[in-house]
Amino acid sequence: MTRAIATMILAGAFLGVGALPSWSKPSADIVRAAATSVVRVTAEGCPGAQGSRVGSGFVWPDPTTVVTALHVVADCQTLTVDYVEAGVQRRAQATKSLRRADLALLTVDDPPAVRALSATATAAEQEELAAIGLPLNVRNWQETYGSRALNVKKLSDILNDTARRQIESLGAPAIELEIFRLTAVVKPGSSGGPVINARGAVVGVVDGGLDGGASSLNWAVPAHLLQELVASSTNDANVGLGPAAETVFAFSVPETAQAAAEVNRDMACGGRSYFHLATRSLDEIVDSMQTPGTLDDPQGFVQVVAALAAVVPENDLAALRFDLFVDSETGATVAVPETMPLSDGDGFCAAESEEGDIALIFQGLVFNPAVTNVDFVSNQFVFDVSQGLGFTNCQADPSFSQMTPHARVDGLLARRFAALCHHLPSGEQAYNFVAHLGRLNSYLGIVAVNGEFYDTGVGGDPDITRDWAAAALAVIISTYQI
């Protein structure tokens, strides 16, 4: 990492976090025991371009039946259940469906002797939970730990205009469906998997992952709705969701070399785990932001894009591509320019341009709210990066800075700034964009640094200018729910 890669410091309140209640986290033994009942559900002959879908499920209420998400199996011709712990596969038929809750019950042909997750319970707010599934074509089950989020009661509580229209166009699940959310993001392909508490009881079923999996918006259907599923009068999964289910919901597709490569792009850096969600061009990302309600400040976003379009040809700007990595703790999606290789620094992740001193730096942290708060953590982040790279005397650019955080529809709080910083010994300058994102006791800081201040813009090097545009947009995009 070069000395010219730096960030800014802006003091001030970010968000307050109170003490978390004391809940027991599901132990490794409890999760492992529950995972023996988790299965991979493969659906073939489905409507849509892919024709195939892969999701998760679990044995309930007895060894002959499996619960999964309706959108995984809806209107598909052939269903297969893979008992990954037992190492066997079985054919299955959808015998019940509950459209309003996006649930399906499968009856399995000649099922193996696998115990059912028969115990159910209701999750309390902020209770520690674990979601278990087989996402993104992984070979074995994976768990995701999180707590039940506050202030989410119904599906409508978390839908922005784009998501609402997607759900309404599909006609399932019900907009006013009772749901709850985890504070951590569950990977695409986990739909239909169980959410369990510290006692191993099922408290919910993983659902969501809108926009074909390119969004971190997911939720869980409460376990008490499983009884309504069993009592449903709809005796199969031919419910007419049609090809739209493929483009609205997230699931995996049967494994290919390309799919396996995508799984291998999951990364760990700076002591944090991130999973690769998608790769998209700026044009595609902007298209996903068109519906009113998606952007918290449409004018501000347009202002940044317009400023960059003045120095980078419009077609080149639209063609910029970003790898979207999701921080499993906060649920924030970090956009990383595809042309900037990622490396694991000393507690930081860094993506650096090959054309000059342009970089994207980010760091995720979990802190103890009884000892500190996210104000301190966010200021410590920018202080550490600034001190490490030698820049001081940063002046905020009010044109692109937010003085207070904004709450995203998924409950993540975000705040972004821009500033011009100086390196006093050399007289060099760097222009920087920074974003702070937080949820409960988890924080993510992201900085784009332009250490080529005098060689970008009108009359500057076009390649360096393009890379700076990509890094700056990456920070701004990361503050939106994409």
Q: Could you tell me which residue, 80 or 269, shows the higher pLDDT?
A: 80
User: What pLDDT was estimated at residue 114?
Assistant: 95
Greater pLDDT, 334 or 374: 334
Q: Which of 203, 227, 257 is the last residue of a domain?
A: 257
In a domain, 417, yes or no: yes
- Sequence-distant (6+) residues with CB within 8 A of 197 are 26, 121, 123, 127, 128, 129, 203
- Whether residues 241 and 271 share a domain: the answer is no
Residue 129's φ and ψ, nearest 5 degrees, are: -135, 170
Report the pLDDT value the prediction gives residue 422, as an integer from 0 to 100: 75
- Among 210, 228, 257, the domain-final residue is 257
Structure tokens given for 45: 């002959």
Does the residue 2 lie in any domain? no
210 and 275 share a domain? no
**Domain-embedded: residue 445:** yes
- If you average pLDDT over residues 323-336, what whole number do you get? 82
435 and 467, same domain (yes or no): yes
Same domain flag for 68 and 186: yes
Cα–Cα dist 146/129, whole Å: 6
Distance separating alpha carbons of residues 383 and 391, to the nearest angstrom: 10
Assess whether pLDDT exceeds 50 at residue 15: no
Beta strands in 302-352 (DSSP E): 321-327, 333-337, 342-344, 349-352
With bands split at pLDDT 50, 70 and 90, how would you rate the model's confidence at 252? Answer: low
Residue 423 has pLDDT above 80, yes or no: no
The CB density around residue 288, as the number of other CB atoms within 10 Å, is: 16
Helix (H, G, I), strand (E, B) or coil at 321: strand
d(CA 112, CA 110): 7
Any domain includes 16: no
CA–CA separation, 78 and 98 (whole Å): 19
Domain identity same for 218 and 355: no
Amino acid at 130: A
Percent of the chain with pLDDT over 70: 83
Is residue 22 one of the residues assigned to a domain? no
Does 431 have pLDDT greater than 90?
Answer: no
Residue 280, strand partner residues:
322
Does 27 map to a domain?
no
pLDDT tens-digit series, residues 297-320: 655 677 778 888 888 888 888 899
Token pair recorded at residue 429: 């300058």
**Closest alpha carbon to 60 in 91, 106, 113:** 106
For residue 36, what pLDDT is reported?
95
As a whole number of angstroms, the distance between CA 299 and CA 311 comes to 19
Q: Supply the pLDDT for residue 167.
A: 84
Compute the distance between CA of residue 464 and CA of residue 253 in angstroms, rounded to an integer: 38
Looking up residue 367, the CATH number of its domain turns out to be 3.40.1000.10
Q: Residue 469 and residue 448: Cα distance in Å, rounded?
A: 10
Last residue of some domain: 236, 257, 278? 257
Count Cα atoms within 13 angstroms, Cβ side, for 311.
19
Buried b (16+ CB within 10 A) or exposed e, 43-79: beebbbeebbbbbbbbbbbebebbbbbbbbbbbbeeb
Pseudo-torsion of CA 368, 374, 375, 379, nearest 10°? 90
Q: Which of 166, 175, 156 is nearest to 100 (CA)?
A: 175
**What is d(CA 173, CA 150) in angstroms, rounded to the nearest whole number?**
21
Per-residue confidence at 257, pLDDT binned at 50, 70, 90? very low
If asked whether residues 194 and 286 sit together in one domain, one would say: no
Instruction: Give residue 385's pLDDT.
Output: 79
Same domain, 288 and 223: no
- The tally of domains found in the chain comes to 2
Sheet holding 272-281, edge to edge: 267-269, 272-281, 321-327, 333-337
**Per-residue confidence band for 19, with pLDDT thresholds at 50, 70 and 90:** very low
The pLDDT assigned to 428 comes to 73
> What's the chain's average pLDDT?
81
Same domain, 127 and 191: yes
Do 270 and 247 belong to one domain?
A: no
Does one domain contain both 237 and 292?
no
- Average pLDDT, integer, range 361-366: 88
Q: Give the range among 183-192, 209-218, 343-352 with minimum mean pLDDT.
A: 209-218
Report d(CA 171, CA 179) in Å as an integer. 17
pLDDT band at 265 (very low <50, low <70, confident <90, very high): low
How large is the average pLDDT for residues 150-166? 81
User: Would residue 400 count as lying in a domain?
Assistant: yes
CB 357 within 8 A of CB 451: yes
Contact partners, residue 380, CB within 8 Å, separation at least 6: none
CA distance linking residue 86 with residue 58, whole number of Å? 13
Contacts of 421 (CB under 8 A, 6+ apart): 6, 7, 8, 386, 391, 392, 393, 394, 395, 429, 430, 431, 432
Q: Which residues of 390-401 are buried (b: 16+ CB within 10 A; e: fewer)?
A: bbeebebeeebb
Q: 128-133 and 88-98: which strand pairing?
A: unpaired
Is the pLDDT at 293 greater than 70, yes or no?
A: no
- CATH number for 207: 2.40.10.120
Q: Are residues 309 and 356 both part of a single domain? A: yes
Structural domain that includes position 411: 265-478
Instruction: Please give the pLDDT value at position 187.
Output: 77
User: Mean pLDDT lowest for which of 7-16, 232-241, 432-441?
Assistant: 7-16
User: What gap in Å lies between CA 413 and CA 270, rounded to an integer?
Assistant: 21
Instruction: Flag the least confident range among 110-114, 336-340, 378-382.
Output: 378-382
* pLDDT band, residue 411 (cuts 50/70/90): low
Residue 275: what are its φ and ψ, rounded to 5°?
Answer: -115, 145
Task: Note the pLDDT tens digit of each residue in 205-246.
Answer: 999 766 544 455 779 999 999 999 999 999 888 888 888 777
Q: What is the mean pLDDT of residues 142-155?
A: 86
Mean pLDDT of the region 391-415: 75
Residue 48 lies in a domain: yes
Same domain for 134 and 217: yes
| 146 pLDDT above the threshold of 50 | yes
